């Protein structure tokens, strides 16, 4: 079941470089390590496939419970609900249900996924196909009794990928268990660096409130990192040391506090996820106590 928090929560996506540098090896050690660092979330990536045994996932889930860390998962990157090849779209359903099965063993409640890419189709056709196949996926998820878990379509950073803020809002209307994952670094890449002021961030939050209402907006999933971009969008993830590309977290922290949001915020920085998650938590906490 989805845990309800009274504040925003923070953590890294994947293993931070300092985890190994401090001598740790296994994800089993991650919950205690994160709890010691003052963080409360961990996102486990199945980017290249759902390859974890039920027993291992269950053991990690037990540790997460013990140290008060909530697990989420990222479904395989090769999901493509917009594919014109029906077998690829059908396989995408399985990648999502496999991810949810593992998420259950982690005792978590949220699974992020990339909807797909337009390929050679016109955008509107690709999006209609994605909606269709994702609707079928939601039926299968319900049939398998996995619909108490939340699936989160992510806003994407490249023009050819399905996942503008508007498209994610539309996808989230397809089920009570579909919540938005807003990757602000992706949005900034797609907008060519136009995500700067708190008004820019508020504009996105307003779209979510208008389209999805209070519950899904307040409890949205967030990916945050600075990202290098080019004319077609995202190029690569950076760290908070970057001063060129952005976006900055400060204005978002202000918007989160002003709107009373309680999002789950994961750092996807390149190697410094734990430090950058802590930096975001510190910035947010400072605004909260003002």
What is the contact surface with Zn ion in residues (CB under 5 A)? 154
Nearer to Zn ion among residue 7 and residue 45 (C-beta): 45
CA–CA separation, 260 and 149 (whole Å): 24
List the Cα angle 27/29/30 in 5-degree steps: 65
Residue of minimal Cβ distance to Zn ion: 154
Burial of 187: CB neighbours in 10 Å, binned 0-12, 13-18, 19+: buried
- Give least dist CB 225 to Zn ion, A: 10
Nearer to Zn ion among residue 103 and residue 257 (C-beta): 103
- Give least dist CB 74 to Zn ion, A: 6
Nearer to Zn ion among residue 61 and residue 76 (C-beta): 76
- Give least dist CB 16 to Zn ion, A: 17
Q: Are 8 and 262 in contact (CB under 8 A)?
A: yes
DSSP 154: B
- Closest to 205 in 3D by CA, of 138, 273, 259: 259
Nearer to Zn ion among residue 154 and residue 167 (C-beta): 154
φ/ψ of 248, rounded to 5, equals -85, 150
List the Cα angle 274/99/152 in 5-degree steps: 70
- Give least dist CB 180 to Zn ion, A: 13
- Give least dist CB 99 to Zn ion, A: 12
Nearer to Zn ion among residue 154 and residue 234 (C-beta): 154
- E strands, 30-183, where? 41-45, 70-74, 110-113, 116-117, 150-153, 161-162, 181-183
- Give least dist CB 69 to Zn ion, A: 20
What value does the CA radius of gyration of the chain take, rounded to a whole number of Å? Answer: 18
Nearer to Zn ion among residue 100 and residue 257 (C-beta): 100
- Give least dist CB 14 to Zn ion, A: 11
Burial of 101: CB neighbours in 10 Å, binned 0-12, 13-18, 19+: middle
CA–CA separation, 195 and 188 (whole Å): 5
DSSP 153: E
Nearer to Zn ion among residue 43 and residue 254 (C-beta): 43
């Amino acid at each position: 079941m989805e845990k309800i928090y009274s504040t925003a929560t923070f953590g890294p996506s994947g293993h931070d470089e300092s985890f190994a540098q401090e001598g740790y090896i296994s994800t089993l050690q991650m919950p205690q390590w994160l709890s010691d660092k003052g963080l409360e979330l961990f996102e486990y990536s199945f980017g290249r496939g759902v390859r974890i045994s039920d027993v291992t996932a269950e053991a990690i889930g037990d540790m997460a419970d013990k140290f008060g860390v909530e697990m989420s998962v990222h479904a395989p990157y090769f999901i493509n609900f917009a594919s014109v090849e029906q077998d690829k779209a059908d396989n995408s359903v399985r990648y999502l249900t496999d991810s949810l099965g593992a998420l259950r063993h982690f005792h978590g409640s949220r699974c992020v996924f990339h909807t797909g890419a337009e390929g050679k189709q016109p955008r509107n056709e690709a999006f209609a196909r994605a909606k269709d196949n994702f609707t079928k996926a939601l039926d299968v998820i319900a049939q398998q009794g996995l619909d108490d878990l939340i699936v989160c379509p992510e806003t994407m950073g490249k023009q050819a990928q399905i996942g503008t803020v508007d498209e994610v809002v539309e996808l989230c209307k397809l089920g009570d268990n579909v919540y938005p994952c807003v990757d602000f670094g992706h949005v900034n890449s797609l907008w060519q660096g136009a995500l700067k002021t708190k008004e820019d961030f508020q504009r996105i939050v307003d779209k979510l409130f208008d389209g999805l209402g209070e519950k899904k907006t307040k409890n949205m999933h967030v990916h945050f990192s600075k990202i290098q971009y080019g004319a077609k969008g995202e190029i690569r993830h950076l760290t908070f040391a970057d001063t060129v590309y952005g976006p900055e977290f400060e204005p978002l922290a202000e918007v989160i506090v002003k709107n009373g949001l309680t999002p789950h915020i994961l750092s996807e920085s390149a190697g410094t996820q734990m430090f950058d998650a802590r930096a975001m938590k510190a910035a947010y906490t400072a605004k909260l106590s003002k």
